[in-house]
Amino acid sequence: MATRKLLEELSQVQLAIELIELGARLQVLESEVGLNRGRLVRLYKEVSGKSPPKGMLPFSTDWFMTWQPNIHASFFYTIYSRLREGQDLERMQAFIKAYRLYQEHMRLQDDEEVLALTRAWTLVRFFENGMFQLSKCNQCQLNFVNHAHTPDDDYVCGVCQPPSRAGKPLKKNRTKSVKQI
């Protein structure tokens, strides 16, 4: 009995360390790890070398609907879903593995990680709470994050139909470069 309890505690500490190393906020740790807050704070300081950041977690679904975050969120959630279904992984195992695969892909593509771990965790929670659905693009046939219960018969994704300002520099950057000439 004592051995089982010790192994469970070790498993929870290991999960907390993995999440901290990936950039988890304290609120994520409190929700997902079965250790008390004081222990999580001490562990956070030990692993990261600093106190956990303060502040609220993102709570709006709107961030995920903007052009670039939607592409990254859709990519991450597709990986996560496939790991859950195809490899029959537990929720947090699949989440950590999916986030590491997302990070690896961004590094290999020399692209910026738009989706921080806390946002990725929030995304999964939004799906679990029925706030999001995957909608299939009529042009590329890929699935993208969309608000739940949104009619998607004529859905076109942000990759096939990017917004007019997608990928263009901000006006102040353009002005700065003109002044240098």
Find the angle CA(94)-CA(98)-CA(99) to the nearest 5 degrees.
120
Find the angle CA(96)-CA(27)-CA(66) to the nearest 5 degrees.
70
CA distance 64 to 68: 8
pTM above 0.75, yes or no: yes
Q: State yes or no: 15 annotated in a binding site.
A: no
**Amino acid in the structure at residue 60:** S
Q: What is the pLDDT averaged over residues 103-132? A: 96
pLDDT digits over 136-179, tens only?
999 999 999 999 999 999 999 999 999 887 765 544 443 333 34
The pair phi, psi for residue 122, each rounded to 5°, is -60, -40
Q: State yes or no: 137 annotated in a binding site.
A: yes
Q: State yes or no: 124 annotated in a binding site.
A: no
Q: State yes or no: 172 annotated in a binding site.
A: no
